[in-house]
Amino acid sequence: MAGVNVKSEIKPLKKVLLHRPGKELLNLTPNTLEELLFDDIPFLKVAQEEHDAFAQALRDNGVEVVYLEDLTAEVLAADPELREKFLLQWIDEAGIKTERYRKIIFDYMQENYPDAKDFVLKTMEGINLTELHTDKSNSLVDLVSEASKMVVAPMPNLYFTRDPFAMIGNGVSINRMYSVTRNRETIYGEYIFNYHPDFKGTPQYYSRYNTFHIEGGDILNINEHVLAIGISQRTEPDAIDGIAHNIFNDPTSPVDTILAFNIPNNRAMMHLDTVFTQIDVDKFTIHPGIMGPLSVFEITPEGDGIKVHEINAPLEQILEKYIGMPVTLIPCGGGDRIAAEREQWNDGSNTLCIAPGRVVVYERNDVTNAVLRKNNIDVIEIPSAELSRGRGGPRCMSMPVVRED
Ligand SMILES: NC(=O)NCCC[C@H](N)C(=O)O
């Protein structure tokens, strides 16, 4: 199935992009956790088993699963010159400045990773200084920080495929990320959306080279015409202005309204989808902690530009207006504040809807999952002891590529 088609959060999911967590997780150390946006070091073997269970649950429900590493490998295997260009860019973006080390790393990758998939996985894993046969008498000071022996840092957040590039209708936003570590991830999107036969030509609504940051966890396709975007720790209002212009100016895009949800700026609620997801035609999960501070703005086209105004109404009323029917907000953790905070921390509100009323969730959030079932939602639980240590749930770990219209 070629191309991109995502005009809803809930219509039957047909194709999804995942990344199976790999050796990049083995390069997390206590002193790099904060910089690499993890709260603990997952046990890789179990994280992979859990992730395989996630992929299988999706396949069992008729979803085609494609992997980021395979798509990138297909692009690079087809064109040795493109592989060289990618490698040089990857070295550059890893912050390797000196010519001598650029060459050492270039040769190391080309000689040791002839197979395209091994090569791509290695770019995700990073390079430890001990792997390179360098003359130890030379200064490494410009290469190696005291805190780490990684010459090229790993990209451990790649299994959260939701964030670096996001499908909007028949187009894609290739995001400029909030953090240095995650901004490197978008290189895979640049190559897939510019060169992969299934994806090249997809309209691009944002560029990774823009100044302002925006991440896919903040982007929700409410319907064909309406997009919701969080203003959050990860997404700046300037980026939303920019993407609004680009979407409204694409004659092929039916989107005519963007709702900007201003949510608190903190790690527990880093993206809109950590506090709010749609799970049925008229139902949403919500973290009760955002209800007070939330403000919502409507952005519509006006002439060549945009018009923005704040909507002063309760969230249910706002959603009802755009969805066309009364909605129910289902609080994470039921009504219990401690359960809500605990389960939100482990992504209780971060559901992946695979058909109206059918969601994939982490099994650990049993209070929230019971509430969902009580509301007649079909709940598919996946194991989550290790995956959750990266602070993302099933929605964060998946990027829908095709949903039924
Ligand atoms: N959409 C999401 O909320 N994604 C979760 C991303 C977790 C990752 N450790 C991060 O901090 O970016």
Report pLDDT digits (tens) over 282-314. 999 988 877 776 899 999 999 989 999 999 999
Asked if residue 318 has its Cβ within 6 Å of ligand 1, the reply is: no
Residue listed under structure tokens 């700026």: 265
Domain of residue 361 covers 13-68+156-403
Structure confidence at residue 348 (pLDDT): 87
- Please state the atom number of ligand 1 nearest to the C-alpha of residue 218: 1
Q: How far is the CA of 396 from the centre of ligand 1 (A)?
A: 7
Asked if residue 193 has its Cβ within 6 Å of ligand 1, the reply is: no
Same domain, 124 and 227: no
Domain end, chosen from 152, 186, 207, is at 152
Whole-model pTM: value is 0.95
Asked if residue 51 has its Cβ within 6 Å of ligand 1, the reply is: no
Taking residues 353-361, report their average pLDDT: 98
Model confidence at 147: pLDDT above 50: no
Report the nearest-CA residue for atom 5 of ligand 1: 392
Structure confidence at residue 267 (pLDDT): 75
- Please state the atom number of ligand 1 nearest to the C-alpha of residue 217: 1
Same domain, 379 and 257: yes
Q: How far is the CA of 274 from the centre of ligand 1 (A)?
A: 9
Same domain, 241 and 294: yes
Please, which pLDDT band fits residue 383 given cuts at 50, 70 and 90? very high
Asked if residue 270 has its Cβ within 6 Å of ligand 1, the reply is: yes
Domain end, chosen from 152, 186, 213, is at 152
Model confidence at 253: pLDDT above 50: yes
Question: CATH number of the domain that 113 lies in?
Answer: 1.10.3930.10
**Helices 186-195, 80-93: inter-axial angle, 10-degree rounding:** 160
Q: How far is the CA of 393 from the centre of ligand 1 (A)?
A: 8
345, 397, 377, 333: which is closest to 57 by C-alpha?
397
Same domain, 126 and 192: no
Taking residues 138-142, report their average pLDDT: 54
Note the pLDDT tens digit of each residue in 61-116: 999 999 999 999 999 999 999 999 999 999 999 999 889 889 999 999 999 999 99
Taking residues 373-392, report their average pLDDT: 96
Q: Is 182 helix (H, G, I), strand (E, B) or coil?
A: helix
Taking residues 250-270, report their average pLDDT: 90
Q: How far is the CA of 184 from the centre of ligand 1 (A)?
A: 14
Structure confidence at residue 275 (pLDDT): 87
Asked if residue 397 has its Cβ within 6 Å of ligand 1, the reply is: no
- The answer to whether 396 is a known catalytic residue is yes
Euclidean distance between CA atoms 3 and 199, whole angstroms: 5
Asked if residue 160 has its Cβ within 6 Å of ligand 1, the reply is: yes
Q: How far is the CA of 160 from the centre of ligand 1 (A)?
A: 6
Whether residue 227 lies inside any domain: the answer is yes
Lowest mean pLDDT among 85-99, 204-218, 267-281: 267-281
Structure confidence at residue 181 (pLDDT): 96
Asked if residue 391 has its Cβ within 6 Å of ligand 1, the reply is: yes
Asked if residue 109 has its Cβ within 6 Å of ligand 1, the reply is: no
Structure confidence at residue 145 (pLDDT): 46
Please, which pLDDT band fits residue 164 given cuts at 50, 70 and 90? very high
Structure confidence at residue 135 (pLDDT): 61
Q: How far is the CA of 164 from the centre of ligand 1 (A)?
A: 10
CB burial of 93-122 (b: ≥16 within 10 Å; e: otherwise) equals ebebeeeebbebbbebbeeebeebbebbbb
| Alpha-carbon dihedral sign for residues 355, 360, 20, 53 | negative
The mean pLDDT of the chain is 93
Report the nearest-CA residue for atom 4 of ligand 1: 396
- Please state the atom number of ligand 1 nearest to the C-alpha of residue 163: 1
Q: How far is the CA of 361 from the centre of ligand 1 (A)?
A: 16
Lowest mean pLDDT among 5-19, 138-152, 201-215, 276-290: 138-152
Euclidean distance between CA atoms 118 and 129, whole angstroms: 19
Asked if residue 234 has its Cβ within 6 Å of ligand 1, the reply is: no
Percent over 70 (pLDDT), the chain: 96
Q: How far is the CA of 235 from the centre of ligand 1 (A)?
A: 12
Whether residue 3 lies inside any domain: the answer is no
Whether residue 94 lies inside any domain: the answer is yes
Do 261 and 220 meet the contact criterion of CB atoms below 8 Å apart?
no
Please, which pLDDT band fits residue 340 given cuts at 50, 70 and 90? confident
Structure confidence at residue 266 (pLDDT): 79
- Please state the atom number of ligand 1 nearest to the C-alpha of residue 267: 11
Taking residues 234-239, report their average pLDDT: 97
Report the nearest-CA residue for atom 1 of ligand 1: 217
Report the nearest-CA residue for atom 6 of ligand 1: 392
Model confidence at 280: pLDDT above 90: yes
Euclidean distance between CA atoms 379 and 364, whole angstroms: 13
Whether residue 254 lies inside any domain: the answer is yes
Same domain, 145 and 294: no
Report the nearest-CA residue for atom 11 of ligand 1: 37
Total domains in the fold of the chain: 2
Q: How is residue 158 annotated by DSSP?
A: G
Catalytic residue of the set 25, 239, 352, 396: 396
* Residue 66 bridge partners (DSSP): 17
Whether residue 5 lies inside any domain: the answer is no
Same domain, 250 and 354: yes
Same domain, 118 and 254: no
Asked if residue 36 has its Cβ within 6 Å of ligand 1, the reply is: no
Same domain, 146 and 180: no
- Please state the atom number of ligand 1 nearest to the C-alpha of residue 392: 5
Same domain, 202 and 300: yes
More confident call, 101 vs 396:
396
